[in-house]
A and B are shown apart, each in its own frame.
Chain A
Amino acid sequence: MQAAASTVALERRVPAEESARADFYALLARLFHGAPDARLLASIARAPALDASSPLASAWGGLTAASHAMDADAAREEYDALFAGVGKAEVPIYAGFYLGAPAADHPRVRLRRELAHLGLAPREDNSEPEDHLAGLFDVMRVLVAGGAGRAAASLAEQRRFFETYVAPATQRFHAAINAAPTANYYRKVAGFAAAFVSFESESFQLE
């Protein structure tokens, strides 16, 4: 008698602390994808403080306080003023600008290869180039917690993508936002993004 072949799907649970990392990546992806609406601002404003006294906790406190004071219309105007318009935006939101982009091997080209290697591709309804900051944070979300048809990546794989693209672009983007006269709410968003990236850098050292 021949045994019937069957496939058993094994689902590996993501630990709570790793899931929390993915949640923060999701939030950053959302905030860089577009301006927060009233519901999102209210949710962030209600969020609890982080337990520890640290640069991350301080930056998170700054973002929650700013979300309490901000209204959605002003956030949209600021987002458009800062980031809208390719080539003439006050602050470029594309990693290629910050990573030094030689024409022959532009980060977008490398990212396209990298995404294919990771088993990912931009959604068809996503018209933004691969190096948009929202896209990079979204890739990290998927690598940390799994999603988009793939399992969570190993820490080594997460770290490689993070250190190649996410960390250097975010820190330089943060400096650019700080220098932009129009920036107000997004100064806090970028401040939190930079603090979170520093926190992640430190945690990867403990890998």
Chain B
Amino acid sequence: MKTTKPHARRKFLLAAGIGSAGAVAAAATKGVAVATHEPPQPKQGDGYRLSEHIQKYYKTTEV
């Protein structure tokens, strides 16, 4: 039977036995700030943002 490449890759990863040590690595970093990336924030076209404070002000001007 022909061995497909994804299967060969999976076998390679499993043979290295990284699973159990990896789990410890993950546990070791829990609660520690390692994440340095986040989704990009949408750009404000003119740099103007309707803040909660400004929204409250607008409400006071409504008739």
Footprint of B on A, CB under 8 Å? 15-21, 23-24, 26-27, 29-30, 33, 39-40, 43-44, 46-52, 54, 56-57, 60, 115-116, 119-124, 126, 128, 132, 134-135, 138-139, 141-142, 147-150, 199, 202-203, 206-207
Give 15 A-B pairs besides A48-B20, A128-B36 with Cβ atoms closer than 8 angstroms.
A19-B26, A21-B18, A23-B22, A24-B22, A40-B32, A44-B25, A47-B24, A54-B16, A56-B16, A57-B16, A57-B17, A120-B37, A121-B39, A124-B38, A148-B35
Cα-based distance from A98 to B8 in the complex (angstroms): 32
Within 8 Å CB of B5, what residues of A? Answer: 206-207
* Residue in A24, A115, A119, A203 whose beta carbon sits within 8 Å of that of B25 in the complex: A24
* Residue in B17, B33, B38, B41 whose beta carbon sits within 8 Å of that of A52 in the complex: B17
- CB-based contact B36/A149 at 8 Å: no
Footprint of A on B, CB under 8 Å? 5-6, 8-10, 12-29, 32-41
Cα-based distance from A49 to B39 in the complex (angstroms): 35
Within 8 Å CB of A33, what residues of B? Answer: 33-34, 36
Cα-based distance from A207 to B35 in the complex (angstroms): 27
Q: Please give the distance in Å from A115's CB to the nearest CB on chain B.
A: 7
Cα-based distance from A40 to B28 in the complex (angstroms): 6
* Residue in B12, B15, B25, B35 whose beta carbon sits within 8 Å of that of A47 in the complex: B25
Within 8 Å CB of A24, what residues of B? Answer: 18, 22, 25
Q: A23-B26, A26-B26, A27-B25 are in contact. Are A50 and B35 (CB under 8 A)?
A: no
A to B CB contacts below 8 Å, 22 in the list: A17-B18, A20-B13, A23-B29, A24-B18, A26-B25, A27-B26, A29-B34, A30-B34, A48-B20, A48-B21, A50-B18, A51-B16, A52-B16, A121-B41, A122-B37, A123-B35, A123-B37, A139-B37, A147-B35, A148-B35, A203-B9, A206-B9
Within 8 Å CB of A51, what residues of B? Answer: 15-17
Within 8 Å CB of A19, what residues of B? Answer: 22, 26
Q: Which residue of B lies closest to A61 (CB)?
A: B21
- CB-based contact B21/A138 at 8 Å: no
Q: Which residue among B23, B37, B41 has the maximum number of chain A CB atoms within 10 Å of its CB?
A: B37
- CB-based contact B34/A121 at 8 Å: no
Within 8 Å CB of A147, what residues of B? Answer: 35
Cα-based distance from A80 to B16 in the complex (angstroms): 33
Q: A30-B32, A43-B24, A44-B28 are in contact. Are A21 and B40 (CB under 8 A)?
A: no
